[in-house]
Amino acid sequence: MKTFVPVLASSVLALSVNAADAKDLIRIAGNFATEHSSSQAMQLFKEEVEKLSDGEIEVNIFPAQQLGGAAENVQAVKIGAIELMWVGTAYLTRTMPELEVIGLPFQFETREQAFAVADGPVGAALDEKMAAEGMASMGYMELGFRQLTNNAHPIESVDDIAGLKIRLQPNETHLATFRALGANPVAMDVKELYSALEQGVIDGQENPFSIIDVAGYSEVQKYISNTGHFFDFISVVANENWFEGLEPETRDTIEAAMDTAIAYQRKLAAEQDAAALDKLIADGMTYTEVSPEFAADLREKTSGVAAETKARLDPALVELLDAEVEKLGH
C-alpha cells in the first residue's frame, strides 16, 4: 500500500482528484496501528462492503497515520477530502464539545455501561448534533479504559501524579481532570507522542493497555498503573454530504457492513485489552495496582470536573445523560 505524506490540504486532496466524487470508492483513514482492533475491524468493513455490493463498491483503508494525524483526519472528513474516518472521540470535541458528556472522569465502571449510553438516546442526540457539523456518525467502537504510564516513578497515590508532565488528547475535560490531580497536562496529537516520550519532552501519557502495547510505548515508558480514569470511544464518522448523497441501497450496504465491523471490534478490543497488560509487564514495564483507597482519592479529587463540564454544555443533553446513567445504577 502506498504511503502518503501527512500534509492535509495537499496530500489528502491529491489522493485521487477524479475519485473524490465517485460514489463507488470509499476512502477511510485512521491513526491507529494496523494491529489494533479498530484497524482490523475496518478491514472487515472493507470485506463486507465489497461482498454485499458484489464488488461495485471499493474500499481503500489508510491506517497508522498514512493520511496524517487524528486532527488532520477530522478536518479531511469535514471538508470532504476523504469519505470516512475512525478516530478517538476526544479529537472531535474541539469541533463538537457536546461529545465530552460521554468522556467524563470515572463515569463508567464497565464497558457494558459505556456502550449502553453511547448506543442509546444520548448517542442518538449526539448524532444529530454531529450531523449539524457536517459529519455523519456511523457508530462507536471501543478505545477503552485509559491507564497512566510515566518514566518518573510508580504511581501509588495522587501525590505521585503531581508535577508530572502528561500527554493527553485535546479534550478540555481530560485536561481539567489531570490539572485537578496536580499534573501538568499537555494536549498533543498522537503522531508526536512516541518521540516526545523517547526524548523526555514529557514524563508520561495515558491510553488503554492495548494502545500502549501496539504503539510500542513500553519501549519508552517504565511504569504503568490501572487508573482507568476515563472510558474512551472511537467514533466512526463520514462526511455528511457524501453519505446523504448516496443511493439508499448503498447507504444500507455501508451501514450493515459497519454494524458488523463495530460488533467485531468491541469483542476483539475486550480480548486484546485483557491480554495487553500481561504483555507490557513481560516487556519490562513495572506495574502498580491501584488500591481501593487510591481509586477513591482519584474520584474525590476530580469530582468537580464533571460538574464544570456539564455546566458549559446543552442542559437538555446533560439531563438526558444523567437520566441514562441513573438507569445504570451508577
Residue 4: pLDDT over 50 = no
Q: How far apart are CA 15 and CA 19, in angstroms?
A: 8
Residue 213: pLDDT over 80 = yes
Strand partners for 147: 207
- pLDDT tens digits, one per residue of 139-159: 999 999 999 999 999 999 999
| Per-residue model confidence (pLDDT) at position 8 | 47
Same fold, 8-143+233-274 and 147-230+282-327: yes
Q: Pick from 328, 325, 321: which is nearest to 129 by CA?
A: 321
Residue 20: pLDDT over 50 = no
- pLDDT tens digits, one per residue of 95-142: 999 999 999 999 999 999 999 999 999 999 999 999 999 999 999 999
Give every CB contact of residue 317 below 8 A, 6+ residues apart in sequence. Answer: 98, 101, 122, 125, 126, 129
Q: What CATH superfamily is the domain 8-143+233-274?
A: Bacterial extracellular solute-binding protein, family 7 (3.40.190.170)
Residue 16: pLDDT over 60 = no
Radius of gyration of the chain (CA): 19
Residues 43, 49, 50, 55, Cα dihedral to 10°: -160
| Per-residue model confidence (pLDDT) at position 305 | 96
Residue 36: pLDDT over 80 = yes
Q: How far apart are CA 224 and CA 197, in angstroms?
A: 14
Higher per-residue confidence, 6 vs 223: 223
* Fold observed for domain 147-230+282-327: D-Maltodextrin-Binding Protein; domain 2 (3.40.190)
Q: What is the mean pLDDT of residues 17-33?
A: 74
Tell how strand 165-168 and strand 204-207 pair up. parallel
Percentage helix, strand, coil, to 5, in the chain? 50, 20, 30
Q: Which three cell numbers stand for residue 233?
A: 470511544
- pLDDT tens digits, one per residue of 214-231: 999 999 999 999 999 999
| Per-residue model confidence (pLDDT) at position 248 | 97
Q: How far apart are CA 283 and CA 70, in angstroms?
A: 27
Residue 18: pLDDT over 50 = no
Structure letter (DSSP) for residue 167: E
Percent share of the chain, pLDDT over 90: 90
| Per-residue model confidence (pLDDT) at position 189 | 86
pLDDT band of 190, cuts 50, 70, 90? confident
Domain boundaries, the chain: 8-143+233-274, 147-230+282-327
Percent share of the chain, pLDDT over 70: 93
Residue 3: pLDDT over 70 = no
SS3 (DSSP) at 286:
strand
The string of DSSP codes covering 37-79 is HHHHHHHHHHHHHHHHTTTSSEEEEE-TTTT--HHHHHHHHHH
| Per-residue model confidence (pLDDT) at position 330 | 60
Residue 271: pLDDT over 60 = yes
Q: Pick from 123, 105, 148, 160: which is nearest to 237 by CA?
A: 123
